[in-house]
Amino acid sequence: MTLNAKQSILLIVDLQERLLPAIDGGQAIINQTAWLIGVARELGVPVIATEQYPLGLGSSAPQIADLLLPGELVEKTHFSAVAEGNLLSHPHGNRLQWVVCGTESHVCVQQTVLDLLAAGRQVAVVEEAVGSRKPGDTALALQRMRQHGADIVSREMVAFEWLGKANTPEFRTVLKDFIR
């Protein structure tokens, strides 16, 4: 699968302020995700973010929440963001390709990815933008998601596939603002 901006959606799973201090590399995951949001915005790729039981885990980290637009946040109580039905029924939920980042890799991210795959979606998980409390759980989750058909990608792979070609105004902007 090659990612196409017109068919893709960026899904941010549970980057919540009370959970992030316990996540291995939590700040780096926030930074990578903010970068992905910026590229998605530049290329017109819709964004959805989830929050797992915000009453207990708090709201999305401010660095992410500040980048979200109205209607892009979905609250959930199931670990899988697909389980409650509101993700795929979202106005952009019918997109074929889902680029996924967030926490925790081995819980909410993995269950969401497996359910997206079962629902016939193509899924790319951004390796440097997912995490868990223990690095070993992240590694196992990435391995399992790959075994079930998810592509494991880097953020630059996503950006260049969404761009598709050079010598466009979008390419020049993304190159200048995001590719260093």
Return the active site residues: 14, 76, 108
- Going across the sheet that includes 97-103, the strands are 73-76, 47-52, 8-13, 97-103, 122-131, 151-153
Cβ(155)–Cβ(140) below 8 Å: no
Q: Which residues touch 159 (CB under 8 Å, ≥6 apart)?
A: 39, 174, 178, 179
Question: What is the number of alpha carbons within 13 Å of residue 162 lying toward its C-beta?
Answer: 32
**Residue 18 CA, distance from chain mean position:** 19
Nearest-angstrom CA–CA distance, 9 and 139: 24
Taking alpha carbons only, the member of 79, 151, 139, 143 closest to residue 115 is 79
